[in-house]
């Protein structure tokens, strides 16, 4: 099992996104979540002053056992595909998240899950610990394994993601922020007394990726990374440079202009900082006046789900891309709490 570090994306992405499954507070399965988001539902629960977005599952099952159950569910959803999966990439949180769980313990639990499942052995697994931006790196790695490496024949890559902000120590950390760089820190969670915060949630997802061809319905044609110096909670002046870099790299790889993107889908989950960054990046990158470029937010339905938000973004994109006949381009943009920024360009088959 290999851990991916943050490197420049080196491959021409161009892969087909096939089956997408998601477990969130909206329900179990890709179809259930897609319909619920389309109808404008959310899975939020008010717990006194705090709002959370938990998955509707036995509240007595907690911690790693709970996460393992969600992975098991996903494995059963893709049971027909399991035997033909050649490589697996797992997306999880960054090790430096506030109130973080012990990732070494978590990974040991994942090993146990692999042994009891029909998935490939751990020799065919990668772990990417890059939070919301994990999916960008996972797509790039999937492209490498499908299109570029010569070590072994690979036809199908499974990207799994799992994350939770509902561990008690995580909630406590985001409610009780320390002072940093001389700035008094208010809570980062949405409460009755704090409107500039996010709703903590939990989610797990799976995406099956193959080579793209003329029959592909959903294609990822570009991926890019950037680095932002003025991260959230610091004294730097935010200019949206990192996110702009990521989007520019993705659009260049896809050979389209940012102004040609019909929709934007963002990982933003409620904090003003990230919405300001989105607006700054759009202002920097638009090369001409456009009528509209709607911003879609999966977190407004399922809360902050960290490394799994990318799967929710792809599920939302799938609805907008496969339900129309004309060519559609979508830019997915992700921002971590640290400096890492990422972007993907998604197109339907007419947009190749």
State whether 206 and 260 are in the same domain. Answer: no
State whether 140 and 122 are in the same domain. Answer: yes
What are the Cα distances from residue 91, in Å, to 134, 145, 160, 279? 6, 16, 6, 27
Work out the burial of residue 105: count CB atoms within 10 Å of its CB; fewer than 13 is exposed, 13-18 middle, 19 or more buried.
exposed
State whether 160 and 181 are in the same domain. Answer: yes
State whether 127 and 237 are in the same domain. Answer: no
CA 333, distance to chain mean position in Å, is: 9
Please identify, among 183, 211, 239, the residue that sits at the C-terminal boundary of a domain.
211
State whether 227 and 199 are in the same domain. Answer: no
State whether 257 and 307 are in the same domain. Answer: yes
pLDDT above 70 (res 11): no
According to the model, what pLDDT value does residue 216 have? Answer: 87
Specify the CATH number for the domain of residue 88.
3.40.47.10
**How many angstroms separate the CA atoms of 318 and 95, rounded?**
30
With cut-offs at 50, 70 and 90, classify the pLDDT of residue 146.
Answer: very high
- Which residue from 157, 165, 158 is spatially nearest to 203, judged by alpha carbons? 165
pLDDT above 80 (res 350): no
Residue 269: other Cβ atoms inside 10 A: 25
pLDDT above 60 (res 5): no
**How many angstroms separate the CA atoms of 119 and 156, rounded?**
12
According to the model, what pLDDT value does residue 84 have? Answer: 86
pLDDT above 50 (res 171): yes
**How many angstroms separate the CA atoms of 66 and 147, rounded?**
35
State whether 166 and 200 are in the same domain. Answer: yes
pLDDT digits (tens, 9 = 90+) for 176-209: 887 665 666 778 999 988 999 999 999 999 999 9
pLDDT digits (tens, 9 = 90+) for 77-123: 887 776 789 999 999 999 999 898 788 888 887 777 766 777 776 66
Give the ranges where 216-285 is alpha helix by DSSP (H): 241-254, 272-285
State whether 284 and 204 are in the same domain. Answer: no
State whether 170 and 233 are in the same domain. Answer: no
* Better pLDDT: 186 or 236: 236
- Which residue from 200, 3, 7 is spatially nearest to 97, judged by alpha carbons? 200
State whether 111 and 242 are in the same domain. Answer: no
According to the model, what pLDDT value does residue 334 have? Answer: 98
Asked if 339 contacts 234 with a C-beta cutoff of 8 angstroms, the reply is no
State whether 274 and 337 are in the same domain. Answer: yes
Please identify, among 169, 184, 211, the residue that sits at the C-terminal boundary of a domain.
211
Tell me which residue range forms the domain holding 91.
Answer: 2-211
Please identify, among 211, 241, 267, the residue that sits at the C-terminal boundary of a domain.
211
State whether 132 and 152 are in the same domain. Answer: yes
3-state secondary structure (DSSP) of residue 219: strand
Looking at the chain, the whole-number percentage of residues with pLDDT higher than 90 is 67
What is the tally of structural domains in the chain? 2
């Amino acid at each position: 099992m290999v851990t991916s570090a943050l490197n420049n994306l080196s491959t021409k992405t161009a892969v087909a996104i096939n089956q997408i499954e998601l477990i969130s507070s909206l329900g179990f399965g890709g179809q259930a979540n897609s319909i619920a988001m389309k109808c404008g539902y959310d899975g939020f629960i008010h717990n006194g002053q705090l709002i959370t977005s938990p998955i509707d599952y036995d509240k007595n099952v907690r911690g790693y056992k709970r996460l393992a159950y969600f992975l098991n569910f996903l494995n059963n959803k893709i049971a027909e595909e399991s035997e033909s999966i050649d490589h697996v990439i797992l997306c999880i949180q960054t090790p430096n998240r506030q109130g973080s769980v012990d990732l070494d313990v978590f990974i040991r639990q994942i090993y146990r899950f692999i042994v009891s499942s029909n998935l490939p052995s751990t020799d065919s697994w990668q772990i990417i610990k890059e939070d919301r931006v994990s999916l960008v790196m996972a797509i790039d790695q999937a492209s490498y394994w499908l299109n570029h490496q010569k070590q072994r024949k690979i036809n199908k890559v499974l990207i799994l993601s799992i994350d939770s902000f509902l561990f008690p120590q995580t909630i406590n950390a985001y409610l009780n922020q320390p002072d940093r760089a001389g700035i008094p820190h208010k809570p980062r969670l949405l409460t009755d007394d704090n409107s500039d915060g996010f709703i903590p949630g939990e989610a797990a997802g799976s995406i099956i990726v193959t080579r793209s061809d003329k029959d592909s319905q959903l294609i990822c044609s570009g991926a890019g990374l950037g680095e932002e110096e003025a991260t959230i909670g610091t004294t730097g002046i935010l200019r949206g440079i990192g996110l702009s870099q990521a989007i520019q790299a993705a659009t260049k790889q896809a050979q389209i202009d940012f102004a040609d993107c019909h929709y934007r889908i963002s990982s933003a989950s409620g904090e003003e900082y990230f919405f300001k960054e989105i607006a700054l990046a759009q202002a920097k990158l638009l090369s001409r006046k456009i009528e509209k470029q709607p911003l879609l937010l999966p977190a407004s339905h399922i809360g902050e789900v960290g490394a799994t938000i990318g799967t929710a973004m792809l599920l939302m994109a799938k609805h907008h891309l496969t339900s129309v006949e004309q060519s559609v381009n979508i830019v997915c943009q992700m921002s971590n709490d640290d400096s890492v920024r990422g972007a993907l360009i998604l197109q339907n088959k007419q947009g190749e």
